[in-house]
């Protein structure tokens, strides 16, 4: 039986145009010849009228399927140790990494003796030719257990992304069909055999419109595809050049059609990509908190593979990971994962969890795999270029479907798959998965069984299903449903047909030992009856037998014994003795007064896809499982380095407005599942593992804390303060309890979202069924139950940074709340300081009335070390913009109501200097209107963290730390005055200055600085003991630094 959508994309296009003309969205079906037949033990393909045919998936896997995985000689031996073995094993990896490559591109294997190894950190394989080998994948073999609360990947295979592109040529061929391996370019002179090339297919508006993915409903297009966001990049090698026609080493998987846009070829150089790497014969596990079956403060991903080609993972068992057993990034190519099992994952049931065997790469092969209780157990991700193949894999009791899980992965083969109790899907996911839309193109289900198989035909492409057993859904091509078909495996039939004798012995598949005839002979029936009484071989058992079928040698005679390395010798992140402190009313670091830019984190929004990373800002507690980088899970050392290079002196952090990106739609609805979208902005509280919160994951426990969240903040503080970068830690985030109702929907304190019976009304009292005004209830500490939760949380904010000096604690981002809550906050801090016999760096960042009330309070005044002018300021006309605290309005609501005006240099100076004069022992920072453009006003007023140039001469900021603002009677002149006549002067519109050194001794140097760059523009010497006039070289603005020679 054959059922299909259309035999050719051309027919589809014509029909589509006719249907559009009639306003009809239904498509006629037709019965046509099979696109693939098995005749005389050969595959016979029938292409459509444009040349498109079922792709050859046999190019997937290690070495593009052309070679079997080799056995590499051991060159390093690691003996079992009971303490943390991270440093020892990494030492072995580093040792082999410096050995020379042999003729096959290998350096050698590291053999780990039998035993259970504790891994507190992460193992990184950064160089080619390295194999990490255990002494068996059973409990009696080699077991690596990732310990601790870190979510970092247990083993990272990671090269360097330093690819550069050149010699770009447009593809001249008007239509390059699916499975093509040759096409013409405009000029091939710069191209030669052996060149690595990128084939770039752009995603045009016309193509997106044809797919219908510009809009998924509701008249809202925010999740719709945009031009340039769904481009395909194939990584290929040129095998031959004939005129302007080039031949490539693997087929393309989506047609290149000039009707939608031109494609291009670029030659790349990629020195940092690594290859010939393997992980084998080992068990990988994660520790976890046994009391919480949904614990997530442990390892998420066992193995990630980035910037790598020709690699493998084989005979590896995985247990207790929250995310993926193996994650292949889009920069992974020609990789095989085989004979592996994943059991007992520990995590919430939801998005980005339990994506057991996942590929975003191309030419990857996953075969003979077994997974229990996963989510997307066998999955192909965003714009995966293909071909990619999953062969003979089983999922038992999964919580979600396998198949294509994100936008337009093309050239996928699911071959001999068994998804027990869930679906296999090649579908239009529409807005699911953050607007995934059409997820699969030119992909095949072959001899698969699942509770449901969805196989739809996307416009401009096709999908096929052969020999499937399931409930069936979809308008793609179907053939021989509910029948066993030949060949048994499409992948191995294609491999055998392509490689002929070289493929002999490569097809390892669990055998089907019986026939399925409906009319067996008496003898056969008797034999089958006898067999029915015996346990049938399972795929799990078959995988366990891999060590017998493909034994991996444990020989180590030529291996160097690696001496155990103490964990203390590992490069760990510890806090450097911080020099940040308050001195003479300034925030001071190693070089003097702290100055520079300020930056905060994203509150919400973002995408973990490549197009979303371009606009991402650094973050501390953003999390994307298995992925590291800006816009993903940030490398904190890299974040600090970036901030340092950008002259950022203070990094402000508050917890996320909501956890996952679905709530970016600002709806208040309860989600129907936990299929959350990354990136995740983590929140300070731990999930309980109980019930369901509004986002579909388990409820929060406000008495327990998100260990990963707090450890990330701690690590950042350690790294940052060593570089004189201040972490501004906003304890709370008022945005959740005022303004849009969606802000409150997923808020952990909301009664529906926690197990702590916080007592806030349910359903929430949304004003006009839209807005939220929960601030009065939230800040009400007369409720003893909630006050206790607040008190414990405030103490957590302090405890987390107990050893740090470079953390400025503020009440909360956007805090325009009442006086009594700030009083409560400071009282808790005072209790903590007395108990711990130390003082924290506490800032007062409130509306002016609350600020002044606290500063007038003799008891609480002493707790405050920094005054932050943020929610009020002086306007250019001399009036003060000062909305009151506790008015139940957010800062921007106050601004809309009271319509503030701009400030000026003079008024910023007055605001800062007034507080410096009134409270000389406290530092003052200015975060209000005009902070960046009036950095010199802040600085001359005695304010810290002023946005002034970074290229100031050596000693300038150190000298400033010993000075104080000095009032000047002369208009346009602002001065900081130190001892012995040293001073810094900011002059605006003046031609000359009078310098009084009557009471000073010695020689003085005058440096004239550019206020824009901070660089020295001139120099002269002055004699002490008299008044003198100096001429200014710039009559607009000038900085003059006078100091002793």
Q: Which string of DSSP letters, residue by residue, matches 899-957? A: ------HHHHHHHHHHHHHH-TTSEEEE-STTTTTTHHHHHHTTEESB---S-PPTTHH
Alpha carbons 721 and 719: distance in angstroms, whole number: 6
Residue 2 has pLDDT above 80, yes or no: no
Residue written as token pair 């998100």: 706
Question: Which of 702, 684, 808, 824 lies closest to 751, judged by CA?
Answer: 702
Cβ pair 1024, 980 in contact under 8 A: no
Element (H, E) at 720: helix 707-721
Distance, in Å, from the CA atom of 796 to the CA atom of 528, rounded to the nearest integer, reads: 66
Q: What pLDDT shows up at residue 1036?
A: 85
For 705-762, how does the pLDDT look when each residue is reduced to its tens digit (9 = 90+)? 999 999 999 999 999 999 999 999 999 999 999 999 999 999 999 999 999 999 999 9
pLDDT digit string (tens) for 59-84? 999 999 999 999 999 999 999 999 99
Lowest-confidence pick of 188-192, 611-615, 669-673: 611-615
pLDDT band, very low/low/confident/very high, at 575 (cuts 50, 70, 90): low
Q: Report the relative pairing of strands 1037-1044 and 983-988 from DSSP bridges.
A: antiparallel
State how far the Cα of 184 lies from the Cα of 172, in Å rounded to an integer: 5
The token duo for 1039 is 């900085």
Diameter over CA atoms, the chain: 125
With 0-12 CB in 10 A as exposed, 13-18 as middle and 19+ as buried, what is 371? buried
Sheet holding 1003-1009, edge to edge: 964-966, 973-977, 983-988, 1037-1044, 1003-1009, 1016-1023
Q: How far apart (Å, rounded) are the C-alpha atoms in residues 6 and 231?
A: 25
CA atoms within 13 Å, Cβ hemisphere of 114 = 7
Average pLDDT over residues 170-176: 98
Q: Is the pLDDT of residue 17 over 80?
A: no
Mean pLDDT (whole number) for 1001-1009: 95
The tokens for 445 are 């289900």
* ∠ CA 39-45-47, rounded to 5°: 150
How far apart are the C-alpha atoms of 764 and 772, rounded to whole Å? 8
Phi and psi based region of residue 16 (left: phi greater than 0; alpha: psi -120 to 50; beta: remaining): alpha
What was the pLDDT predicted at 515?
66
Dist. CA 624–CA 161, nearest whole Å: 19
Q: Which fold has domain 956-1044?
A: Immunoglobulin-like (2.60.40)
Indicate left, alpha or beta for 798 from its phi (over 0: left) and psi (-120 to 50: alpha): alpha
CA distance 564 to 996: 68
Average model confidence (pLDDT) across the chain: 95
- List pLDDT tens digits, range 83-108: 999 999 999 999 999 999 999 999 99
> Which whole-number Å values give the CA distances from 872 to 731, 733, 856, 894, in the listed order?
20, 18, 18, 11
The DSSP call for residue 803 is: T
Q: What's the CA gap between 726 and 716, in Å, rounded?
A: 10
Q: What is the mean pLDDT of residues 400-418?
A: 99
578: confidence class by pLDDT, cuts 50, 70, 90: confident
CA gap 730, 1029 in Å, rounded? 48
Using the 8-state DSSP alphabet, how is residue 616 labeled? P
Q: How far is CA 614 from CA 29, 437, 549, 618, 665, in A?
A: 43, 22, 47, 11, 21
Q: What is the DSSP string of 102-121?
A: -TTS--EEEEEPSEEEEESS
| Burial grade of 673 (CB within 10 A; 0-12, 13-18, 19 or more) | middle
For residue 363, the surrounding DSSP H or E stretch is strand 362-372
Of 491, 324, 313, nearest in space to 391 by CA = 491
Q: Are 392 and 363 in contact (CB under 8 A)?
A: no
Nearest to 929 by CA among 961, 883, 963, 885: 883
* pLDDT computed for residue 573 by the predictor: 52
Confidence grade of residue 19 (pLDDT, cut at 50, 70, 90): very low
pLDDT > 90: what percent of the chain? 91
Q: Counting beta carbons within 10 angstroms of the beta carbon of residue 967, is it exposed (0 to 12), middle (13 to 18) or buried (19 or more)?
A: exposed
Closest by CA position to 176, among listed 253, 267, 235: 253
Average pLDDT over residues 779-808: 98
pLDDT above 70 coverage of the chain, percent: 96
| Of 336, 449, 459, 469, the residue nearest 402 (C-alpha) | 449
Closest CA to 573 of 829, 233, 803: 803
Residue 801 has pLDDT above 80, yes or no: yes
Write the pLDDT tens digit of every residue in 111-131. 999 999 999 999 999 999 999
Which pLDDT does position 465 carry in this prediction?
A: 99
- Domain-by-domain residue ranges, the chain? 164-269, 509-548, 956-1044
Q: Report the alpha-carbon distance of residue 983 to residue 126 in Å, rounded.
A: 53
Cα 221 to chain centroid distance, Å, stands at 24
Structure tokens at 571: 């490069």
Cα–Cα distance, 1022 to 290 (Å, whole number): 74
Question: What distance in Å separates the CA atoms of residue 386 and residue 439, rounded to the nearest whole number?
Answer: 13
**Residue linked to tokens 């050969």:** 42
The conformation of residue 617, written as its DSSP 8-state character, comes to P
For residue 776, what are its two tokens?
Answer: 């009065």
Give the pLDDT of residue 576: 59
DSSP-assigned letters across all residues of 47-78: --TTS-----GGG-SGGGGTSPPPPPPEEEEE
Give the model confidence (pLDDT) of 288-321 as tens digits: 999 999 999 999 999 999 999 999 999 999 999 9
What is the per-residue pLDDT for 518? 79
- The DSSP symbol for 383 reads T
pLDDT value for 617 = 96
Asked if 997 and 1025 touch (Cβ cutoff 8 Å), the reply is: yes
**Helix and strand tally (H, E) in the chain?**
21, 65
Query: What phi, psi does 271 have (nearest 5°)?
Result: -70, -30
Q: Which two tokens stand for residue 840?
A: 């924290």
Secondary structure in 3-state letters for 832-891: HHHHHCCCCEEEECCCHHHHHHHHCCHHHHCCCCEEEECCCEECCCCCEECCCCCCCCCH
Question: Where do we find the tokens 């000389």?
Answer: 920
Q: Provide DSSP, 162-184.
A: --EEEEEEEB--SEE-TT--EEE
Spatial distance between the Cα atoms of 811 and 828, rounded to a whole number of angstroms: 12
Q: What is the rounded CA–CA span in Å between residue 384 and residue 407?
A: 8
Which of 806, 803, 839 has the alpha carbon at shortest distance from 589? Answer: 806
For residue 397, give both structure tokens.
């009791």
Q: What pLDDT shows up at residue 413?
A: 99
Q: What is the pTM of this model?
A: 0.95
Q: Comparing C-alpha atoms, which of 901, 880, 898, 902 is closest to residue 890?
A: 898
Distances from the Cα of 348 to the Cα of 370, 607, 696, 746, angstroms: 20, 21, 10, 16
Note the CATH architecture for domain 164-269: Beta Barrel (2.40)
Region of poorest pLDDT, from 404-413, 514-523, 787-796: 514-523
**Phi first, then psi: what are they for 977, rounded to 5°?**
-120, 130
Location of structure tokens 């346990």: 535
Residue 62's nearest CA partner among 405, 423, 365, 384 is 365
Across 168-174, average pLDDT: 98
Q: Tokens 């740090």 sit at which residue? A: 804
Tell me the H-state helices in 768-866. 775-778, 784-799, 819-836, 848-855, 858-861
Q: What is the pLDDT of residues 806-856, one digit of tens each?
A: 999 999 999 999 999 999 999 999 999 999 999 999 999 999 999 999 999
Give yes or no for a contact between 248 and 53, defined as CB atoms under 8 angstroms apart.
no
With bands split at pLDDT 50, 70 and 90, how would you rate the model's confidence at 110?
very high
Residues written for the chain: 1045
């Amino acid at each position: 039986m054959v059922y299909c959508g259309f035999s050719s994309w051309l027919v589809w296009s014509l029909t589509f145009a006719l249907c559009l003309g009639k306003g009809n969205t239904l498509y006629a079906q037709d019965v046509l010849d099979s696109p693939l037949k098995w005749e005389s033990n050969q595959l016979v393909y029938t292409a459509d009228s444009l040349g498109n045919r079922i792709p050859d998936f046999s190019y997937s896997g290690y070495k593009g399927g052309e070679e079997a995985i080799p056995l590499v000689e051991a060159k390093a031996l690691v003996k079992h140790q009971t303490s943390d073995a991270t440093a020892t094993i990494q030492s072995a990896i580093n040792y082999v990494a410096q050995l020379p490559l042999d003729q096959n591109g290998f350096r050698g294997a590291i053999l780990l003796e039998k035993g259970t190894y504790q891994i507190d950190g992460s193992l990184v394989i950064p160089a080619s030719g390295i194999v990490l080998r255990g002494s068996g994948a059973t409990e009696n073999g080699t077991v690596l257990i990732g310990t601790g609360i870190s979510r970092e990947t247990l083993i990272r295979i990671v090269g360097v992304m330093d690819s550069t592109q050149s010699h770009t040529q447009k593809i001249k061929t008007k239509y390059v069909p699916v499975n093509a391996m040759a096409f013409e370019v405009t000029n091939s002179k710069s191209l030669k055999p052996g060149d690595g090339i990128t084939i770039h297919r752009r995603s045009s508006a016309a193509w997106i419109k044809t797919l219908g993915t510009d809009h998924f409903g509701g008249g809202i297009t925010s999740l719709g595809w945009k031009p340039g966001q769904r481009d395909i990049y194939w990584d290929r090698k040129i095998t031959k050049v004939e005129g302007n026609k080039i031949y490539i080493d693997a087929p393309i998987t989506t047609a290149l059609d000039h009707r939608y846009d031109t494609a291009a070829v670029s030659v790349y150089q990629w020195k940092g990509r690594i290859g010939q790497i393997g992980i084998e014969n080992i068990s990988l596990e994660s520790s976890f908190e046994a009391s919480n079956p949904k614990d997530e403060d442990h390892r998420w991903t066992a193995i990630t593979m980035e910037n790598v080609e020709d690699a493998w993972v084989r005979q590896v068992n995985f247990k207790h990971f929250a995310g993926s057993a193996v994650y292949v990034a889009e920069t992974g190519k020609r990789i095989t994962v085989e004979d592996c099992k994943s059991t007992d994952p520990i995590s919430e049931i939801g998005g980005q969890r339990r994506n057991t065997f996942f590929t975003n790469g191309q030419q990857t092969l996953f075969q003979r795999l077994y997974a229990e209780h996963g989510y997307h157990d066998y999955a192909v991700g965003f714009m995966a270029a293909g071909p990619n193949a999953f062969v003979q894999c089983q999922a038992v009791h999964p919580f979600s479907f396998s198949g294509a899980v994100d936008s337009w992965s093309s050239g996928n083969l699911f071959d001999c798959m068994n998804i027990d109790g869930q679906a296999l899907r090649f579908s239009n996911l529409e807005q699911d998965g953050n607007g995934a839309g059409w997820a699969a193109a030119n992909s095949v289900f072959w001899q698969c069984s699942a509770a449901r198989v969805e196989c739809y035909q996307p416009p401009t492409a096709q999908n096929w299903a052969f020999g499937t057993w399931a409930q069936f859904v979809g308008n793609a091509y179907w053939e021989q449903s509910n029948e066993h078909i030949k060949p048994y495996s499409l992948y191995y039939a294609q491999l055998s047909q392509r490689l002929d004798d070289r493929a002999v012995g490569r097809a390892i598949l669990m055998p089907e030992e019986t026939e399925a005839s409906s009319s067996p002979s008496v003898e056969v029936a008797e034999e089958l009856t006898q067999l029915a009484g015996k346990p049938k071989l399972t795929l799990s058992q078959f995988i366990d037998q891999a060590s017998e079928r493909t034994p991996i040698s444990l020989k180590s005679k030529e291996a160097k014994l690696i001496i155990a390395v103490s964990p203390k010798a590992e490069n760990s992140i510890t806090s450097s003795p911080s020099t940040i402190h308050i001195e003479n009313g300034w925030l001071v670091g190693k070089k003097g007064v702290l100055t520079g830019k300020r930056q905060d984190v994203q509150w919400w929004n973002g995408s973990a896809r490549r197009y979303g990373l371009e606009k991402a800002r650094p973050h501390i507690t953003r999390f994307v499982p298995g992925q590291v980088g800006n816009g993903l899970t940030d490398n904190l050392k890299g974040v600090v380095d970036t901030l340092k290079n950008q002259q950022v002196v203070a990094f402000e952090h508050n917890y996320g407005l909501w956890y996952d990106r679905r709530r970016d739609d600002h709806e208040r609805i309860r989600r129907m599942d936990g299929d959350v979208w990354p990136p995740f902005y983590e929140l300070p509280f731990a999930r309980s593992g109980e019930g369901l919160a509004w986002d579909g994951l388990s409820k929060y426990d406000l008495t327990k804390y998100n260990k990963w969240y707090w450890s990330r903040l701690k690590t950042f503080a350690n790294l940052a303060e060593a570089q004189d970068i201040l972490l501004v830690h906003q304890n709370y985030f008022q945005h959740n309890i005022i303004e849009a109702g969606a802000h409150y929907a997923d808020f952990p304190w909301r009664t529906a979202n926690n197990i702590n019976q916080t007592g806030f009304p349910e359903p929430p009292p949304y004003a006009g069924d839209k807005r939220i005004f929960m601030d009065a209830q939230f800040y009400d500490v007369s409720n003893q139950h909630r006050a206790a939760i607040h008190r414990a949380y405030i103490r957590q904010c302090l405890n987390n940074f107990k050893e740090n000096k470079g953390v400025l604690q503020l009440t909360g981002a956007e805090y325009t709340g009442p006086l009594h809550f700030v009083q409560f906050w400071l009282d808790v801090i005072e209790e903590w300081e007395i108990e711990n016999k130390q003082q924290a760096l506490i800032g007062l960042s409130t509306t002016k009335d609350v600020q002044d009330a606290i500063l007038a309070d003799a008891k609480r005044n002493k707790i405050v070390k920094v005054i932050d002018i943020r929610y009020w300021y002086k306007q250019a006309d001399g009036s003060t913009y000062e909305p009151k605290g506790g008015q139940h309005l957010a800062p921007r609501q106050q601004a809309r109501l009271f319509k503030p005006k701009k400030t000026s240099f003079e008024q910023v100076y007055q605001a800062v200097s007034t507080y410096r004069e009134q409270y000389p022992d406290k530092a003052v920072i200015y975060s209000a209107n005009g902070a960046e453009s009036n950095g010199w006003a802040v600085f001359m007023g005695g304010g810290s963290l002023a946005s002034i140039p970074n290229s100031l001469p050596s000693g300038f900021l150190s000298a400033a730390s010993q000075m104080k603002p000095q009032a000047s009677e002369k208009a346009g002149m602002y001065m900081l005055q130190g001892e012995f006549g040293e001073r810094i002067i900011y002059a605006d519109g003046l031609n000359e200055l009078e310098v009084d050194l009557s009471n000073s001794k010695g020689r003085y140097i005058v440096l004239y600085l550019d206020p824009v760059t901070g660089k020295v523009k001139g120099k002269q010497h002055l004699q002490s003991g008299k008044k003198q006039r100096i001429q200014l070289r710039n009559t607009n603005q000038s900085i003059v630094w006078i100091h002793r020679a």
